[in-house]
Amino acid sequence: EPQKIVLNVNGIEVIYNHVILVLKGVSLQVPEGKIVAILGGNGAGKTTTLRAISNLLQGERGAVTKGSIELRGERIENLSPADLVQRGVVQVMEGRHCFAHLTIEENLMTGAYTRTSKAEIAANLEKVYNYFPRLKTRRASQAAYTSGGEQQMCAIGRAIMTNPSMVLLDEPSMGLAPQIVEEVFNIVKDLNTKEKVTFLLAEQNTNMALKYSDYGYIMESGRVVMDGIASDLANNEDVKEFYLGVG
């Protein structure tokens, strides 16, 4: 069956502080219902790519200076992050796990700020607890006193509270023990399979990302240098030599 492309990034250039060219013509496609990974080392441009898509560059003094970004055929370069949430696209930022002084449940509820129906919000919260049983156990704990894994789950759970069709996930494995990374990725896969949420994730942990993704793009110095079906990339000799075992 033909794949429906939800997100089409077409030759984007990003410049920081008016001078530093960081993305040098990046193109990628995200098909509906898939998990797509952007891979590559430190500074390759993964985070910048996600920020460009969700229009979070401004605060970093960055701008898209060339190319286009389309969501289901609509140009989105000028839409605010809030506009994107309304269109079903939400970003989970790297390391910005949770509001430290709020409880896990309060954090999750901040994800429902655009919603009005109390019944829907309650149902959504139960759904999140269903996928993240750890969060249910910790619902009344202040986020600051939960583990790194629980905080990452909380950040993803908060995104799920916006009822998204697509989640941009920046470095979900960062700072987590391998077993917890696996737990987080399993939940991502579960949300993808059962809730049909499309994921675009940025990861330095190539092994783990390729294991759970359908397709991968490898970036180096602001360019996509290779892309392919995840299992093909995982078996590719160059990928094995240069990227596997990293992270």
CB 227 within 8 A of CB 46: no
CB of 4 to ligand ATP, least distance (A): 27
3-state secondary structure of 52: helix
* The two structure tokens encoding residue 14: 């990003």
CB of 13 to ligand ATP, least distance (A): 12
CB 30 within 8 A of CB 71: no
CB of 168 to ligand ATP, least distance (A): 12
> Cβ closer to ligand ATP: 45 or 164?
45
CA distances, 71 to each of 38, 166, 168, 193 (Å): 18, 10, 13, 21
Cα–Cα distance, 31 to 200 (Å, whole number): 10
CB of 215 to ligand ATP, least distance (A): 18
CB of 41 to ligand ATP, least distance (A): 7
Under the rule (CB under 6 A), what is the footprint of ligand ATP?
Answer: 16-17, 20, 22, 40, 42-48, 60-62, 171, 202, 204
CA distances, 87 to each of 58, 80, 244 (Å): 20, 11, 35
> Cβ closer to ligand ATP: 107 or 151?
151
* The two structure tokens encoding residue 39: 């891979």
Cα–Cα distance, 90 to 68 (Å, whole number): 19
